[in-house]
Amino acid sequence: MVSNNEFGALHLESDLSKELLPRKEVDYNALTQRHDSTEVCYSFPQDSHKAKTKRFRQSFLTSTIVSPAASHITSEFHVESAILSSLITTIFVLAYMFGPLILSPLSELYGRRLILNCTNAVFTLSHIGCALAPNAGTFLAFRIISGLAGSVSLSVGGGIVPDLFDVHERGVPNALVTTGSLFGPVLGPLFGGIITQRAGWRWIFWVLLIACAVVSIAMAAFTLETNAAVIIRHKASKLRKETGREDLQSAYDSEKTSTSFNNPWLLVGHAISRPWKMLLHSPLLVILCIMVGLISGLLYTLLTTTSSFFQEFYRWSLETAGLAYMGLGLGSLVGLIVFAKTSDLLTVRLTKANNGIFQPEMRIVTAFLPALFIPVSFFGTAGPRKPRRIGLFR
């Protein structure tokens, strides 16, 4: 049985802390609760199958699929303000920024499955509001709701990987999880242009509604909980009811944490404040957040302007302009393959060189070299262009 001290760090902060869980040393064949202990932990294999489950990915087409239709939307709603016109696309991404900070931490409390199912339902239904919006204000309001709910799938999806895989096995799963968030914004303008030109911009959201409904129903029907702390917490609650022993608690929870479950507002406040505490106490996280924020801003600037640029300067049709994003998709594919092949190998090698002690910072090494190509790649984009001549051949 594992003591509270060993599990103390597990409850405190991020998914990275779950790597401290000494799974190999735990006696999985032991009973889930011993007569001389008040702790409840895994009973293998009855509980492990609940965490080792597949999950479906939510579509990320929504973030940029509206880009080709932006001019049609502003024209129908008689929007003359340049700021409001830009918000047609960017308001979704702005909402994406706040969703993970508010909603994603709740998955550590109530489980990945519950939070994902609830936010997926809101995300799916928000497309009805966008499709039926009578004016720009209503449209923007539902886009905000869509962005807040849709962001959870991205952030919580990344948290599921540490739930299911050991430290040296996460390279390929992380690459697969990231696939949706990279290729969705690339394919979005392509599909958005085709749908807008052939059926009208409102049909973008009806198509998204159908696609998201299928994925959300499949996730709700076939996925199980992966958060070990939540699984064992539910098991401890069940044992308390069956045995009448109120002193039983999850091995993931300290006595203070277990007592705080009586105050749900305190729990929610603690969960939501946790990312901010991590950010304030870790300079490395601050640097990474600034770096990712800058890259994401540049990327979405490129994604939201490429379609209109090729239509204006090169006279490409709305459908054809979506093909301009294929270069970005190809580059993302190459990057994911390289990451999947090298991430785990480097992590294992650095861990051995560090006397067998893994540190989360070891994962950052794979980002050093690719980061050098980011400013270089934007020189061609920002350089002067002439009609009918593209890229280096202008």
What is the torsional sign of CA 344, 348, 349, 354? positive
Domain range annotation of the chain: 58-242+259-367
pLDDT given at position 187: 82
The residue with tokens 């702005």 is: 94
How far is Cα 140 from Cα 143, in angstroms, rounded to an integer? 5
CB 220 within 8 A of CB 244: no
Task: Provide the token pair at 99.
Answer: 């969703």
Q: What single string gives the DSSP state of each residue in 318-358? A: HHHHGGGGHHHHHHHHHHHHHHHHHHHHHHHHHHHHTTT--
Distances (CA, A) of 164 to 52, 68, 228: 6, 38, 9
Task: Provide the token pair at 128.
Answer: 């009805």
The pTM score is: 0.74
Question: What average pLDDT does the structure give for the chain?
Answer: 75
CB 163 within 8 A of CB 51: yes
Note the CATH architecture for domain 58-242+259-367: Up-down Bundle (1.20)
CB 389 within 8 A of CB 380: no
pLDDT tens, 364-379? 888 777 888 888 777 7
- β-pair partners for 39: 249
Return the DSSP state at 52: S
Which of the residue ranges 35-44, 277-286, 307-316, 364-373 has the most confident prediction, judged by mean pLDDT?
277-286
pLDDT tens, 71-109? 788 888 888 777 777 788 788 888 888 888 888 888 888
In this structure, of 50-64, 233-247, 374-388, the range with the lowest mean pLDDT score is 50-64
